[in-house]
């Protein structure tokens, strides 16, 4: 941390011991800079003095006098603090006959100075702790950083909390105000400022329903606070390098991230969140997103969940979009179309939903409130349109018609389309920061040109060819979690049959241009799960596999370190286990038994990983078979044997799930840190979409899907004929 200037070091001399260490002074200066106030409030001063007085008892203040003589300054004492009266608890006052002690300034014998020194040191440590506690829990105290709050009126408890939106607060400031766009459910946002001016420091505390602080987001103009000191450099998903500080005295015992972005100095302080969670929050910050903010000093108890995480009519946090046949269902609203719908996708703001209308062979963008509907085939030529994807940071939709072309569409400008390219696009993927768009160009129709992997830098308006296929076909899998590289599959053109049994997954480092083969696998987007976006060594989970049938081993869970260019198997269930409700015996290769069967890891296949960053992994386990089930009945029994398991990233078992949802699972997907969307076939002819809370195991049926799923719901290779992404999309 930068050394404080001389004049700044004396702001808190009246509350710190005169011989405070440089470390203690730096901690106090950090408090001063974050709060942007020249001295602590009157209440805080009184608390500190009472604490010091209680600790020292009737010990003299000679050391304090001596310290001020050394600095040439006299102690500044308020009338309430000089002389200081020790207030004993009521029960103590009744039991003691000693008179109240008045602490005055006097000298003491030299033999007691060592004792005073020890007590002074202890008091200094506790005082610093009290200051840091005040700093971390700032929005919970009854006063603002600029001074004491006005006295509450007797009717305050019956008044609704003062609230405004982030947009309203942003309009009062002369610098960009950032708010997170992705939050765990159940958090309330409590804001505070150090004044009404346009340069005010803003502190937003996110608290759980139990009142526990999850994290604090503090912001101020970049020129109001000094540049962050050199901590551990961390690359955020948007490409900005932040400084990370682990748990230490300088960070108040909490981890923190600090950086400057678009003229705003941002500090993220962890409460219950750790390093990776803070990085994930930092990656979701937006200067345009909206959020309901409650005034901190008006809140006497935990407040209801704000609008971005409000409970939907379905009884779950956030909002769920479902496409069922020709209907789009958004919470309680139902919109009907003329064709079958699929692939619903929310825009980052949650204002828009894009989905495919397979009957009209187009992509439709609809406002969540139903006030606007646009069919992109009316704006984008060369239809039909089947390929589309939202930017992860703004309401900007990339669209690629089947007959060639690449365009960008903004729903806020419903009649304008920006065309980037005219060639045929095979696949596309947005970078995590939304600044770049990667596409595979396969040339004009009828062209024999090789596939090219191209990255469009949208702010610069430039396109860069990063790799060219050599008699192969390329298909994008996605970006590295930190945006520093790309993942793609490479198909041999000579044998489509060989490609169906597995193709190499390549990793391209954009900084060096190096291409590495990670593993061989089925080219299935649902066989890849992305890890934490800000990790130093970005990693993904994949299903390494050979053979097109989903029941054929080996199909094992691998964790791939993209920087090290290596994949390591995750040892799940190292010992044998009993799969309850399994209907297939891998030893006899028959799918008839209805009794629990003991299997080894080698006798199971692992499918469809989903990874909530830095927390838990959910996968589907099923018995491995050496031959295709002979009958439809046996295939149905193998479907019943598909078990949902929760594990930690190191492979150790996670929370157990109720038996009612552990079998017959087609697919699962994390949507929050403690909830999964689950697609289950609990019995032949029945399918349902579930909301499952982990670890409580609470289950809620969101929709019955019997009419959408055939029996059995698998194709001849064991792949589900229905996927979560085809019918459901959730937004916080």
Place of tokens 């994008």: 476
The residue among 600, 576, 569 whose CA lies nearest residue 586 is: 600
DSSP conformational letter for 303: P
Using CA atoms of 315, 331, 351, 353 in order, give the dihedral in degrees to the nearest 10. Answer: 130
**Distances from the Cα of 397 to the Cα of 42, 363, 429, 459, angstroms:** 53, 11, 11, 15
The residue among 356, 330, 384, 420 whose CA lies nearest residue 702 is: 330
Helix/strand/coil (H/E/C) assignment for every residue in 579-612? ECCCCCECCCCECCCCCCEEECHHHEEEEEEEEC
DSSP conformational letter for 140: G
HSE-up (13 A, CA, CB side) for residue 84 = 25
Q: How far apart are CA 88 and CA 101, in angstroms?
A: 10
Overall pTM surpassing 0.75 (yes/no): no
Please name the helix (run of DSSP H) or strand (run of DSSP E) that holds residue 133, with its range, or none.
helix 113-136
Place of tokens 């719908």: 341
**Mean pLDDT by 10-residue block, N- to C-terminus, for the chain (732 residues)?**
38 50 52 48 53 44 34 35 35 37 37 45 48 44 33 34 71 89 76 81 84 86 75 83 72 78 89 83 85 52 33 76 94 90 95 94 92 90 88 94 91 85 91 94 71 93 91 92 92 75 93 94 93 69 89 90 87 52 50 53 86 80 83 83 87 84 90 90 89 88 89 89 94 90
**pLDDT tens profile 15-42:** 455 555 555 555 554 554 444 444 555 5
Backbone torsions φ then ψ of 631, nearest 5 degrees: -130, 165
Q: How far apart are CA 436 and CA 453, in angstroms?
A: 13
pLDDT score of 449: 78
Q: How far apart are CA 245 and CA 573, in angstroms?
A: 36
Backbone torsions φ then ψ of 288, nearest 5 degrees: -120, -20
Structure tokens given for 420: 């980037």
Backbone torsions φ then ψ of 494, nearest 5 degrees: -80, -30
* Max Cα distance, the chain (Å): 103
Q: How far apart are CA 330 and CA 325, in angstroms?
A: 14
All structural domains of the chain, each given as residue ranges with its CATH number in brackets, are 6-136 (no CATH), 161-309 (3.30.200.100), 525-732 (2.120.10)
pLDDT score of 159: 37
**pLDDT tens profile 632-658:** 888 888 888 888 989 888 888 888 888
Backbone torsions φ then ψ of 704, nearest 5 degrees: -95, 130
pLDDT score of 85: 35
């Amino acid at each position: 941390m930068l050394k404080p200037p001389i004049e700044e070091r004396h702001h808190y001399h009246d509350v710190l011991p005169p011989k405070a260490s440089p470390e203690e002074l730096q901690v106090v200066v950090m408090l001063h800079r974050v709060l942007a106030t020249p001295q602590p409030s009157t209440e805080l001063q009184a608390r500190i003095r009472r604490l010091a007085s209680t600790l020292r008892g009737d010990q003299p203040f000679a050391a304090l006098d001596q310290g001020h003589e050394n600095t040439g300054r006299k102690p500044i004492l308020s009338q309430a603090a000089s002389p200081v009266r020790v207030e004993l608890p009521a029960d103590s006052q009744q039991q003691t006959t000693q008179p109240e002690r008045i602490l005055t300034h006097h000298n003491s014998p030299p033999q007691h100075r060592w004792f005073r020194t020890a007590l002074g040191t202890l008091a200094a440590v506790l005082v610093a702790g009290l200051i840091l506690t005040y700093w971390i829990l700032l929005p919970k105290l009854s006063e603002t950083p600029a001074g004491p709050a006005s006295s509450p009126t007797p009717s305050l408890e019956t008044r609704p909390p003062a609230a405004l939106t982030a947009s309203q607060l942003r309009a009062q400031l002369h610098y960009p105000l950032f708010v997170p766009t992705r939050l765990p459910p159940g958090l309330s946002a409590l804001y505070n400022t150090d004044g009404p001016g346009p340069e005010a420091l803003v502190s937003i505390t996110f608290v759980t329903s139990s009142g526990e602080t999850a994290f604090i987001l503090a912001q101020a103009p970049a020129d109001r606070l000094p540049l962050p000191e050199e901590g551990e450099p961390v690359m955020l998903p948007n490409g900005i390098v932040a400084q990370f500080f682990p748990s230490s005295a300088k960070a108040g015992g909490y981890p923190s991230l600090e950086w400057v972005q678009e003229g705003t100095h941002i500090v993220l302080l962890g409460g219950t969140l750790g390093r990776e969670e803070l990085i994930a929050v930092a990656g979701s910050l937006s200067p345009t997103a909206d959020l309901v903010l409650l005034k901190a000093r008006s809140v006497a108890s935990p407040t209801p969940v704000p609008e971005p995480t409000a409970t939907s009519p379905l009884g779950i946090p956030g909002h769920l979009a479902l496409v069922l046949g020709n209907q789009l269902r958004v919470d309680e609203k139902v919109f009907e179309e003329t064709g079958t719908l699929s692939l619903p996708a929310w825009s980052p703001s949650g204002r828009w939903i894009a989905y495919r209308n397979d009957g009209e062979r187009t992509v439709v963008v609809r406002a969540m409130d139903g006030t606007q509907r646009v069919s992109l085939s009316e704006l984008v030529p060369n239809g039909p349109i089947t390929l589309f994807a939202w930017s992860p940071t703004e309401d900007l939709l990339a669209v690629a018609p089947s007959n060639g072309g690449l365009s960008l569409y903004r729903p806020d400008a419903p009649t304008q389309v920006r065309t980037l390219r005219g060639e045929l696009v095979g696949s596309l993927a947005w970078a995590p920061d939304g600044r770049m768009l990667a596409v595979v160009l396969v040339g004009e129709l009828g062209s024999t040109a090789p596939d090219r992997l191209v990255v469009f830098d949208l702010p610069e308006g430039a396109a860069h060819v990063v790799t060219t296929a050599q008699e192969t076909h390329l298909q994008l899998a996605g970006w590295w979690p930190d945006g520093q590289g790309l993942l793609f599959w490479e198909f041999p053109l000579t044998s489509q049959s060989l490609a169906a049994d597995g193709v190499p997954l390549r990793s391209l480092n954009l900084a060096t241009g190096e291409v590495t083969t990670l593993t061989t696998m089925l080219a299935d987007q649902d066989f890849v799960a992305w890890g934490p976006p800000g990790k130093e060594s970005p990693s993904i989970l994949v299903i390494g596999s050979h053979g097109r049938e989903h029941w054929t081993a080996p199909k094992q869970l691998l964790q791939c370190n993209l920087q090290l260019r290596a994949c390591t198997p995750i040892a799940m269930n190292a010992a044998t286990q009993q799969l309850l409700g399994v209907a297939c015996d891998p030893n006899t290769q028959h799918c008839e038994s209805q009794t629990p069967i003991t299997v080894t890891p080698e006798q199971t296949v692992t499918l469809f990983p989903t990874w909530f960053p830095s927390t838990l992994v959910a996968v589907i386990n099923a018995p491995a078979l050496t031959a295709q089930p002979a009958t439809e009945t046996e295939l149905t029994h193998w479907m019943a044997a598909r078990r949902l398991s929760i594990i930690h990233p190191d492979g150790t078992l996670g929370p157990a799930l109720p038996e009612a949802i552990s079998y017959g699972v087609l697919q699962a997907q994390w949507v929050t840190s403690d909830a999964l969307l689950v697609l289950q076939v609990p019995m032949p002819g029945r399918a349902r979409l579930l909301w499952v809370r982990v670890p409580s195991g609470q289950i809620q049926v969101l929709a019955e899907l019997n009419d959408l799923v055939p029996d059995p719901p698998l194709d001849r290779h064991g792949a589900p004929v229905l996927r979560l992404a085809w019918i459901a999309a959730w937004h916080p």
